[in-house]
Amino acid sequence: MRSNPEKSPHPEGEIVSRTMAMPSDANPYGDIFGGWLMSQMDLGGAVLARNIARCRVVTVSAETMNFVSPVAVGDVVTCYARVLSIGRTSLKIDLDAWVQCFKTGQSRRVTEGAFTYVAIDDQGHPQPVHRPEENAADSTSSAT
Ligand SMILES: CC(C)(COP(=O)(O)OP(=O)(O)OC[C@H]1O[C@@H](n2cnc3c(N)ncnc32)[C@H](O)[C@@H]1OP(=O)(O)O)[C@@H](O)C(=O)NCCC(=O)NCCS
């Protein structure tokens, strides 16, 4: 599959996970399951969403998910995430997974997607997201 032409040729956002693809994550032909990659991205997006929301989050939607290039057993998969938008209770996160060839050091994008998470309270009901500027203000006030 062709990568989204609007995507940068370099990883964007912050690293939210890095792991090695293992034989148990592969199909009989040695390629890594799409579902495993999707779960890496979902986890990575949840890391960023939870850091911003500062509460539990759940995935409500995977709007896009493109598999750009196959992943092999032994590849180290790194997920990058950045916020696309923040609503009242939801956060839309842009996610890309890249693998780096350990022999050449060259990286290539393997998946790209956009997932939405909802901040929830202890009862599982949506709750308003703390805005990053509120978080910054919080940390300033707690530091003084
Ligand atoms: C996520 C959940 C709490 C939302 O509950 P809800 O009653 O639909 O809440 P709302 O209608 O008030 O929507 C909450 C937010 O989610 C957004 N949303 C809801 N469905 C959406 C969808 N399909 N795609 C994108 N955003 C969606 C709404 O736009 C709203 O955003 P905003 O507050 O920023 O404007 C509920 O649907 C749920 O628990 N779903 C299951 C989640 C889950 O189990 N995920 C897998 C494991 S993590």
Q: What is the reported pLDDT for 140?
A: 39
Between CA 52 and CA 78 the distance in angstroms is 20
Within a domain: 44? yes
- pLDDT band for 83, please (50, 70, 90 cuts): very high
Q: With a 6 A CB cut-off, is 64 part of the ligand 1 pocket? A: no
Q: 60 CA distance to ligand 1 centroid (A)?
A: 5
Which residue minimizes the CA distance to atom 27 of ligand 1? 60
Provide the residue range defining the domain that includes 130: 14-143
Q: 117 CA distance to ligand 1 centroid (A)?
A: 7
Q: What is the reported pLDDT for 144?
A: 31
Within a domain: 6? no
Residues 36-74 have pLDDT tens digits of 999 999 999 999 999 999 999 999 999 999 999 999 999
Q: What is the mean pLDDT of residues 103-124?
A: 94
Q: Is the pLDDT of residue 104 over 90?
A: no
- Residue 66's SS3 state is strand
Say if residues 82 and 14 touch (Cβ distance below 8 Å): yes
Within a domain: 100? yes
Q: What is the reported pLDDT for 141?
A: 37
CATH of the domain at 106: 3.10.129.10
Between CA 100 and CA 78 the distance in angstroms is 8
Number of structural domains in the chain = 1
- pLDDT band for 6, please (50, 70, 90 cuts): confident
Within a domain: 3? no
142 alpha carbon, distance to own chain's centre: 29
Within a domain: 46? yes
- pLDDT band for 5, please (50, 70, 90 cuts): confident
Give 21-26's long-range contacts (Cβ < 8 A, gap of 24+). 21/71, 21/72, 21/73, 21/74, 21/75, 21/76, 21/77, 22/73, 23/73, 25/73, 26/72, 26/73
Q: Which of 61, 118, 121, 131 to mutate to test the pocket of ligand 1 (most atoms within 8 A of CB)?
A: 118
110 phi and psi, to 5 degrees? -110, -30
Average model confidence (pLDDT) for the chain?
89
Which residue minimizes the CA distance to atom 5 of ligand 1? 126
